[in-house]
Amino acid sequence: MSSLTLRLLASRLPSLRAAFLSALLWCPSLVTMAAESHAAPAAEGHAAEAVHGLPAGAPVVFDFGFFQITNSMVLTWAVAIALILFAQIATRNIQAIPQGLQNFWEWLVESLHDFLEGIMGADLVKKTFWFFATIFLFILTCNWFGLIPGVGSIGWGHPDAAGQVHHLSHPLLRGVNADLNMTLAMSMVFSVCWLFWALGANGPAGFIKHIFGAKGDTAGLLKVLMVVVFAAVGVLEVISILFRPVSLSFRLYGNIFAGENMIETMAALGGSAFGWLLLLPFYFLELMVGLVQALVFMLLTSVFTLLICQHDEEHGHAHEAEHGVAKH
């Protein structure tokens, strides 16, 4: 890939990222508003006192009646603004010999592009790179922002008889991917993009044939049998496609939610004197988990896209890649 092409790609990626993130950031608010409307304030208060850990649902920190803002949404917007500003600053003055932030940005874009090109091929990566690069950087940054001191430890709680707060029921900030609303929104956005790419690559008739059509060269009764078999396999494939948003969202949510709960538990066990020391090895572990989970989400979605957009003779190689990633 030429240096000029990479610079053009790097300069276009911030605007594509801004458009994608703008659409993505409003999805969790719709899910959250529907979920929060059924919660009773009294029950929420009792649950906060009983649970000493990260609550499963993101608490509402600002309620405007018609629109509610949760603590995970606040950090989501902060991460999105930080990424957009960094990309714009890095590509503000494109130079022939990159230096500083431009050099780092071009290295990052080129590395991601070459990595995805080796998986999906040059033609498909041209159409989809903007999405997979953005989703990887967004998830990775969100995971690491959730480890910044103050996230989850600044907010509102219930004081005890001595007037001290030992647990926050409403932290001001919360890890983005520790909120199921966010991971489900990203999975749903990918599903829409996946359907668009699939129809663009195969057409409506080719899309149906790709899922239900019989593969291989057969004749006679064997061909009839293969048609029945692949029709049944197609039904299973449709069920798998429908459950992909669920599996993608719960995989990412479960790992990040468990990690943040583990950090809070270790901090409580260490107390005010040694809590920071007990946290150190788990912080390094969560840094690695954040990177791995961002990579797994990007790889799974890219392989799912490859499977629907490729030719039949390449299925075996792609299925092997999918199963290898799914083990994580």
pLDDT tens readout for residues 43-83: 444 443 444 567 777 888 888 888 888 888 999 999 999 99
Q: Give residue 35's pLDDT.
A: 42
pTM for the full predicted model: 0.77
Q: Which amino acid is at 302?
A: S
Token look-up 């990479």 returns 6
CB 67 within 8 A of CB 29: yes
In the three-class reduction of DSSP (H, G, I as helix; E, B as strand; rest coil), residue 167 is classed as strand
Which conformational region is residue 175 in: left (phi greater than 0), alpha (psi within -120 to 50 degrees), or beta? beta
CB 13 within 8 A of CB 130: yes
Distance separating alpha carbons of residues 128 and 115, to the nearest angstrom: 13
Which DSSP state fits 178? G
Q: Give residue 230's pLDDT.
A: 86
Reference 58, options 164, 155, 197, 160; nearest CA is 155
CB 96 within 8 A of CB 2: no
In the three-class reduction of DSSP (H, G, I as helix; E, B as strand; rest coil), residue 169 is classed as strand
Token look-up 């990159």 returns 98
Percent of the chain with pLDDT over 90: 43
CB 101 within 8 A of CB 90: yes
Token look-up 């290295």 returns 107
Measure CA of the first residue to CA of the last residue in the chain; give whole Å: 31
Which has more pLDDT, 32 or 298? Answer: 298
Q: Give residue 128's pLDDT.
A: 95
Q: Residue 87 is encoded by which pair of tokens?
A: 């990309």
Going by pLDDT thresholds of 50, 70 and 90, the confidence category of residue 244 is: very high
Going by pLDDT thresholds of 50, 70 and 90, the confidence category of residue 33 is: very low
- Over residues 24-32, the mean pLDDT reads 48
- Residue 327 has a CB neighbour count (10 Å cut-off) of 6
Distance separating alpha carbons of residues 310 and 317, to the nearest angstrom: 11
Token look-up 């053009």 returns 8
Q: Residue 311 is encoded by which pair of tokens?
A: 């030719």
CB 168 within 8 A of CB 157: yes
Distance separating alpha carbons of residues 325 and 252, to the nearest angstrom: 13
Helix axes 3-25, 180-212, angle to 10 degrees: 110
CB neighbours of 324 closer than 8 A, spacing ≥ 6?
A: none
Domain ranges of the chain: 3-326
- Residue 103 has a CB neighbour count (10 Å cut-off) of 13
Would the pLDDT of 111 be above 60? Answer: yes
